[in-house]
Structure formats: structure tokens, C-alpha cells
Structure 1
Amino acid sequence: MNRSQILSTLRVELRRKGAEYRTEIAIRQWVKKFLKELSITHSRQLMDWQADYFIANLKKDEQYPAAEILQAKSALSFLFEKIIKANGDKDNSYPTEDQFRIPA
């Protein structure tokens, strides 16, 4: 999925789950910020560690209170669990040992 499809699917899934409009706006803003900051244009580029990296940068920034960081973490968790993995995109976990095998 490209970026606009990710955001559209996110919006539809949030409405299907019955999220309040203000919650939907907040989640979409965090996901947009995440995608823009890491220059992600397609769901195949998403990896779990990127969410951890993004959250760590928010914590370093010190302009965000703990409640907002928790909200961002929850938004990214929802994105990965309900949108990316549910749509059959590749497993976004860390590479395994087999993936780093170098042929002799």
C-alpha cells in the first residue's frame, strides 16, 4: 500500500472500531508524522524498529509530554497490528539470522 492507501485504510479501520472523531484525528496525525519523518512511501518499507526509533526521537525532543508519547506509541502499534499485518504485507519484524547469510 502506498502512503495515501495506508492513511485511508487507517481511517476506515478506526471508524469501523468506533473511535471518536478526535481520537481518529490524533492517530492520523501521529501516523502522518511518522511516515513523513522517516520518508516512508510504501508499506513494504515499514519495519518494527522504525516505530521504536521514532518514539525514541520523540522522547529526546523533550517538547512532547509523556501522555503524547504514549498516544504516538499506541497509534503506531495500531498501525502495525491492525493495518499493515492485517492486509497481508510482509512480516515487519527484525531480520532473522538466515536473512543475513552471505554465500561463500
Structure 2
Amino acid sequence: MYDLTGFQRDVLYTIAGQDEPHGLALKAELETYYEGEVNHGRLYPNLDTLVDKGLVEKGTVDRRTNSYMLTQRGRREIEARRDWEDEYVDELLGE
């Protein structure tokens, strides 16, 4: 996960929080978080990168719509990242 951009991590987390979302659902969720437009030219190449890295699996809903879901590796990477973050956040919060 260390080699992902912040946006790619956000996309990965957004996929994790939904049930096999399609691209437009991810776009809408990310636009809510970023409080602005996320254009197709930014989203879809980053989704392809996550697929190429083996973190996300791309499925087909119909001829025009793809769905996305985490792979086992994607789940492990998120868990490892959360554990790493918890080490520092817990320390910061005195927990």
C-alpha cells in the first residue's frame, strides 16, 4: 500500500465500504468526500492501477457498466495499513 497515492488509497477504502460498486457510485462517494468533482480521467485510470496491482477485481454488470471489489490482497493491505496507522494515532491520542 506504501506505493499508492492518497487518491488511490481513498478509492480502495471507498470500494471496501460498498457492495461491488460501479464507477459512478464510487465517483459520487469520492465527490462527497472531496467536496468537488472527480473527473473520469482521474478515477478510471486509478481504478485500472488498483486492478493491475491485484488489489481490486473488476467485474461486469452489463455491457457498459463495471463493478469493483477488493481482492484478498486488497483486504490484507487495508488491514495492514490500519494497524500501522493505529500505532501512531493511538500514541498521539495517548491510548
- Which TM-score bucket, shorter chain as reference? 0.3 to 0.5
Higher percent of residues as helix:
1
TM-score normalised by length of structure 2: 0.35
Higher percent of residues as strand:
2
Q: Which has the higher contact order (CA 8 A, sep 6+)?
A: 1
TM-score normalised by length of structure 1: 0.33
